[in-house]
Structure 1
Amino acid sequence: MDEQLKQIGERLKGLRDALDLTAQEVADACGLNVEKYEKVEQGEEDITISKLMKIAHKYGVSAEELMFAEAPRMKSYFVVRKGQGMSVERTKAYKYQSLVSGYVNHKADVFIVTVEPKPEAHTVYKNNHAGQEFNLVLEGAMDIYLDGKTIRLNEGDSIYFDSSKPHGMLAVGDKAVRFLAAAIG
């Protein structure tokens, strides 16, 4: 994971250099203070997918280019075979596998997210981003914390919500939860 964080940081710095932007401008675009953003560029801090999406949208690149260093190429269709989507482990507990990374100008970011259980967790990290989000639980169960409410989702359950509201999730029980997440807008 540390190598992935370092590579994402290098790509963010490269984007900033190519567009002649200051660290403060990019930090402001994604809602981070400049000190934390500079640590992200140095590979010392993690950055959420939603913040990467904000940067990508603001500066006209795809989130996949920032996460995977791959530019989408397909214009008619894009197939991802089971288990073959480009993936990034955001933290030890979260793994994102992109299902749309190769399609040019996709309107939604779609991932299979795997969240490992954290029985000792008392705090849930929440984020928010523009648009809407759809989650469908494929395996396991999770609690989603959405705008002050806790909603239990079991295998086969789904939720569609305003993703500008603070939201986060935890795996429930002793096994990982896998869910389809589609961020739209």
Structure 2
Amino acid sequence: MEPNIKEVAGRIRALREDMDLTMQEMADATGRTVSEYAAQESGEQDLSFTFLYKCAERLGVDVIEILTGENPHLSGYSLMRADEGLSIKRRAGFEYLHKAPHFKNKLAEPFLVTAPYLEEEQDVPIHLSYHKGQEIDFILKGTLRFAYENHVEELEAGDMLMYDSGRGHGMIATGGEPCVFLAIVMKPQDDSIS
């Protein structure tokens, strides 16, 4: 299942309006200008995972509710088979497969991520993202260049990172092929998204 960008953007707008939040307040919460935020809320621009996560955080909902319009409902356990999950294709071909979309009150968001190999990214600075919390990335297949503020690390299958995701971080696949990794995005301890 791939969420429709216009529907997702419409849910963000409806939640913002229901909460009587201004575009300026949401722009501040997502780290964008009002015009950038407006373009994303209207569905004119792609919605990055970081943007969706920050919207969910500010709106006080689970990111899955924004993506699907449904509240997660499982509380005991959630099982997703190898090819199952909520597919989210964002950011220059990155594919995120959310592996527990129906589990409620998650302390973390688990994703199987496929980073495409793009030749044009190999010799330019890596785009950095920021979102509150921590993240664990475990490389399953391929190689990955990871940038964290001014540090750069080269990773391969079996390597694992854990980092403060509130600081600048980004990654690209290297080695001529996509990189597949498990990303566990953990929410800040003082924040709870139902």
User: What's the TM-score once normalised by structure 1's chain length?
Assistant: 0.93
Distance (whole Å) between structure 2 residues aligned to residue 91 and residue 184 of structure 1 = 20
Is structure 2 residue 126 aligned with structure 1 residue 124? yes
Q: How does 1:141-160 map to 2 (within 5 A)?
A: 141-160=143-162
Q: How does 1:59-78 map to 2 (within 5 A)?
A: 59-78=59-78
Partner of 1:180: 182
Partner of 1:54: 54
Distance (whole Å) between structure 2 residues aligned to residue 140 and residue 66 of structure 1 = 31
Partner of 2:136: 134
CA contact (8 A) 1:4 1:88 kept: no
Deviation at 1:92, TM superposition (A): 4.1
RMSD over equivalenced CA pairs, Å: 1.4
Number of residue equivalences: 183
Deviation at 1:100, TM superposition (A): 1.9
Is structure 2 residue 29 aligned with structure 1 residue 38? no
Distance (whole Å) between structure 1 residues aligned to residue 92 and residue 154 of structure 2 = 22
Task: Please list the CA deviations of residues 90-127 of structure 1 after superposition, one character each: whole Å capped at 9, or x if unmatched.
Answer: 13421111112111110001111111111112242211
Instruction: Specify the code of the residue in structure 2 equivalent to 1:112.
Output: L
Structure 2 gaps, min length 5: 188-194
Deviation at 1:39, TM superposition (A): 0.3
CA contact (8 A) 2:26 2:58 kept: no
Distance (whole Å) between structure 2 residues aligned to residue 39 and residue 18 of structure 1 = 19
Deviation at 1:9, TM superposition (A): 1.2
Deviation at 1:156, TM superposition (A): 1.1
Partner of 1:161: 163
Deviation at 1:8, TM superposition (A): 2.0
Instruction: Specify the code of the residue in structure 1 equivalent to 2:139.
Output: V
CA contact (8 A) 1:110 1:182 kept: yes
CA contact (8 A) 1:93 1:117 kept: no
Secondary structure of residue in 2 paired with 1:36: helix
CA contact (8 A) 2:144 2:172 kept: yes
Partner of 1:110: 110
CA contact (8 A) 1:5 1:40 kept: no
User: What's the TM-score once normalised by structure 2's chain length?
Assistant: 0.89
Partner of 1:14: 14
Distance (whole Å) between structure 1 residues aligned to residue 59 and residue 6 of structure 2 = 20
Distance (whole Å) between structure 1 residues aligned to residue 71 and residue 175 of structure 2 = 37
Distance (whole Å) between structure 2 residues aligned to residue 91 and residue 166 of structure 1 = 16
Secondary structure of residue in 2 paired with 1:29: helix
Instruction: Specify the code of the residue in structure 1 equivalent to 2:134.
Output: Q
Distance (whole Å) between structure 1 residues aligned to residue 161 and residue 26 of structure 2 = 31
Q: Percent identity?
A: 32
